[in-house]
A and B are shown apart, each in its own frame.
Chain A
Amino acid sequence: MYRVYFLIKRHELEIDELRPLYMDFQATTPMDPRVLDAMLPYQVNYYGNPHSKTHAFGWESESAMETARRQVADLIGADPREIIFTSGATESNNMAIKGVARFYKTKKRHVITTQTEHKCVLDSCRILASEGFSITYLPVQANGIVDLELLEASIRPDTSLLSVMTINNEIGVKQPMKEIGQICRSKGVFLHTDAAQAVGKIPINVTDMKVDLMSISGHKIYGPKGVGALYVRRRPRVRLEPLQSGGGQERGLRSGTVPTPLAVGLGAACSIAQQEMEYDHQRVSMLANRLVQKITSELPDVIMNGDAEQRYAGCVNLSFAYVEGESLLMALKDVALSSGSACTSASLEPSYVLRAIGTDEDLAHSSIRFGIGRFTTEAEVDYTAEKCITQVSRLREMSPLWEMVQEGIDLKSIKWTQH
């Protein structure tokens, strides 16, 4: 098929050029002013190393770090001693997967994950495979949810770890974590979940979900970038081989000075998320429904990727048939959107998550992800919807495929010739 490749050129905004609206809350989120307010004293005056045991600078820094640890633990229903501060969810994922697999490698050599995981999980598994582990990449159904029977069937006696993300960052589907936790607990397999998009947005309890390891990211919950956390269960104890060696900080699992201002920011973000969860959830659901209703009522042939019910409302991934995704993104240049996730957008390949849920090649190329968050307003959603409708209609007018469809030709029956 004849396809034109565009590249959205980056350019510096002119002095009076307006900034786009931000609708990409899955890529990152702006910091909540309350989080910045909590962090600033530790960037300016209270700059001690929290591991210094001999003076007030160290003591006050350490007490701030422990308060932050308790705030993170309260959000997920854990004990503060089970929280390890890391540099982000990518490091947490690496620690969990490589650490657990390598610790138990004498007896257990099998790890299971899904095909829709984040790149860091898939890459960690690839490294393990090169070390001699056997990895199973579970397929997902067309709605993005794993098949529980297939999951149970793929657990072997030598499986050490199962890793499934709670909410997918590209299509927003929510996996049935309680059921998966039940299966893993009954078979004696550790369950790791990448909850970067889920923490602070849906209620999470590690005891209910029977989760043994959980990755948390700071900059997805209106906190600072460069910090995250890993929840490591103590009862029953999960052992990890540490990735980063050094002075034995963070229970020996992650050596290195804990960045107090960032940890304080993460803690503040978690405690704000706990207070605001109900309010934000109602608002985000209302805005997402508004967006989807507006778009689908005016435009035909719009497909939502991922299950309609089992999802987080704020991540809306729509495929517009007969329109090319990059050209639509360029047409919507006054809204900051993405097609697929930031980690896959460097290449021109369609996202592997959409391929895993079985979307057709052409629909995978024309998908756009709308991210709605705490700071989105109705005006922004309305503007985005209207702009989307006009631009998609305009692009479809120009598209020869659309013409053929209007005439009633079935595109799948066409034999394209080679030039």
Chain B
Amino acid sequence: MAAAVRSQVISLYRMMLTESKKFPSYNYRTYALRRVRDAFRANGALEDPRAVERLVVEGQQTLALIKRQVRHTHLNDLIWVTGDGRQREMGRINKYNYFAKNDDD
């Protein structure tokens, strides 16, 4: 792989991982990190420049998708919570499961 393409792929990989870390949901976050890592590893030995370019374009589209979905799920996090008949302030719903927020793969 040419050096310019290689550095482009590596920067795409790093950006995808950075964006994937921002998912509030534990399951989506771990899936995105794992899938991105496994997909880049599986295609690591590819030499054909056309195939590589196609995958890079697909990766950029997926990066945009991840950014949109991260923003979307963040927006759906803040809701009105009523408890005991009183209306509470806008707060985060309990979205963390038994694993802490920063404990990802």
Q: Please give the residue numbers on chain A whose beta carbons come within 8 Å of chain B beta carbons, in ascending order.
A: 12-22, 30, 33-34, 36-37, 40, 279, 334, 374-377, 379-380, 383
Contacts and interface: CB of A to CB of B under 8 A. Distances in A.
A164 B32 CA distance: 36
A379 B97 contact: no
Given A20-B97, A21-B97, A33 B83 contact: no
16 contacts: A12-B83, A15-B83, A16-B94, A18-B98, A19-B95, A22-B27, A30-B27, A30-B28, A33-B66, A37-B69, A279-B35, A279-B38, A377-B34, A377-B105, A379-B103, A383-B98
B91 A15 contact: yes
Nearest to A13: B94
Given A15-B94, A37-B65, A279-B38, A375 B30 contact: yes
A22 B26 CA distance: 11
B69 A36 contact: yes
Given A18-B97, A21-B97, A375-B30, 20 more contacts: A12-B83, A14-B83, A17-B94, A19-B94, A19-B95, A19-B96, A20-B97, A21-B98, A33-B32, A33-B73, A34-B65, A37-B69, A40-B72, A279-B38, A374-B31, A375-B31, A377-B27, A377-B34, A379-B103, A383-B99
B88 interface: yes
A377 B97 CA distance: 13
Contacts of B65: 33-34, 37
Contacts of A379: 99, 103
Nearest to B91: A15
Contacts of A383: 98-99
Contacts, number: 58
A42 to B, nearest CB: 15
B81 interface: yes
B37 interface: no
Contacts of A19: 94-97
Interface string B62-74: 0001101100110
B94 A18 contact: yes
Given A12-B83, A30-B27, A375-B31, A334 B98 contact: yes
A383 B73 CA distance: 26
Nearest to A374: B31
Given A22-B27, A30-B27, A34-B65, A15 B88 contact: yes
Interface in B37-66: 38, 65-66
Contacts of A18: 94, 96-98
Contacts of B97: 18-22
